[in-house]
Amino acid sequence: MSIIVIDCGHNAAGRDRGARCHDGRMENDLNQAVSARLAALLKAAGHNVVSIGNDGSGVVERGACGANNNCDLLLSIHHNAYGGGANGTSVIKSVFADRDAPKAAQCGKLILEYVSDAIGTRARNGGAPATKWNGARTADYYGVIRGNRKHNTLIVECLFCDNPSDLSRWDPDRIAAAICGAVCAVFGKPSNVVETKPEAPAPFAVGELVEFSGGAHYVSSDAKKATGGVRTPGRARLTKIVPGRAHPYHLIGTTSNVWGWVDADRVSKGESR
């Protein structure tokens, strides 16, 4: 599986705690919550995870950890702020990503789509990852991107934490699950997925929006025991399919709070829109 570096944005140990949220919390509190959950999910999926941040290091130094660990992807987790009026989810990639790190660029687009779907925020920049040059247009503007010579860093701005409407949608479990789903879609399937040949074409396609009727979800496609309590009915994105397993579909909820593997009889075609 892949090596994923997770940078918890800003740096409590270095007294940089980021923006102040609408409810008085600091951005770094939110970054830590999402980063910890994301690390656990990616490890459970079989990826090698290196967690950095909150250790007093600078942004360029933290960016360099990506190349130093020969990572396949570096994710820098943040929550945006802009005077309380701006809103939405955004992802920033290296200006060189399309050339040097196309899988990171692909993953950035999926992260933006999956996170905004999962928590109901607006996907900024027309639904595509943004880029930003330095003043001389010779390198990336952001230090955590500039420090990684592999150019496979993505800054994930989950939402605007100083916007009360955006902050009301904050759910670290759903955000982490959405990011994990996008990473697994590009950099490898979870370790519990076994390639099998279906006897008939699957009724759904990965990436499709479906309706979940509610009920249990599971941490793996063959888990014996449900986790997380009863999940609500609603729309969800189908992120993985394992034919022939007890719980063959992996869902990340958009209007439902499901984020796990579910039984086939709990999934039906979503309404076209």
pLDDT tens digits along 181-197:
899 989 986 544 444 44
Q: Rounded mean pLDDT of the chain?
A: 90
Give residue 38's pLDDT. Answer: 95
pLDDT tens digits along 63-101:
999 999 999 999 999 999 999 999 999 999 999 999 999
Give residue 188's pLDDT. Answer: 82
SS3 content of the chain, % helix, strand, coil (to 5): 30, 25, 40
d(Cα 230, Cα 29) in Å, to the nearest integer? 28
Give residue 190's pLDDT. Answer: 52
d(Cα 149, Cα 152) in Å, to the nearest integer? 8
Say what the pTM is.
0.75
Question: Percent of the chain at pLDDT above 90?
Answer: 73
Eight-class DSSP state of 219: S
Q: How far is CA 32 from CA 51, 53, 101, in A?
A: 11, 9, 26
Lowest mean pLDDT among 53-57, 92-96, 252-256: 53-57
Run of H or E including 66: helix 59-68
